[in-house]
Amino acid sequence: MKVVTSLGLTIAALLVQQADAHGRLLVPPHRGYIGKLPEFSFIPKDYSDHGLNAGGISQTSGGQHGICGDPYSGVRDHETGGMYGTFPTNGAKAIGGCYAPGATVDIQIQITANHKGFFEFGLCKLNGKADKETE
């Protein structure tokens, strides 16, 4: 009986492929969250903004991931020009925060389900509406 139980637990453990993160960047508001704020009602609401994980472990293990949390091999809705990356269409009014070089930035994160993951942040300077994120 112990062998059957151990075998069953081993098989169950092998079937678990990833743990999806559940959290969001509130301050400054990330592109998926910003449409939920009253002053940004012109940006579409992303009702899954708490679940961006760049495609999960299976897609990021090769070092490839979407710049703004989208899967590398999927639709990039959160990058510039995507459904939530509306800077090219709406200009500066679609930016949730702007900081001077060298400034200290206070951030606020909301964890909706703790799966022992981590957040990774990067800043990108977009000089114009045609610029794209690069890293």
pLDDT digits 0-9 by tens, 46-72: 998 888 777 777 766 677 777 788 888
65 CB-near residues (< 8 Å, 6+ apart): 54, 55, 59, 71, 72
Measured distance CA(122)–CA(6) in Å, rounded: 43
Q: Any idea where the domains of the chain sit in the sequence?
A: 19-113
DSSP three-state, residue 27 = strand
Instruction: Identify the pLDDT of residue 21.
Output: 56
74 CB-near residues (< 8 Å, 6+ apart): 55, 66
pLDDT at 40 over 60: yes
Smallest CA-to-CA distance from 42 within 107, 97, 99, 95 is with: 95
Instruction: Identify the pLDDT of residue 41.
Output: 92
pLDDT digits 0-9 by tens, 80-103: 888 888 888 888 888 888 888 889
DSSP three-state, residue 116 = coil
Instruction: Identify the pLDDT of residue 29.
Output: 92
pLDDT at 9 over 60: no
pLDDT digits 0-9 by tens, 11-39: 444 444 444 558 888 999 988 999 999 99
Instruction: Identify the pLDDT of residue 19.
Output: 47
Q: ω into residue 28 within 30 of 0, thus cis? A: yes
Smallest CA-to-CA distance from 52 within 119, 114, 106, 99 is with: 119
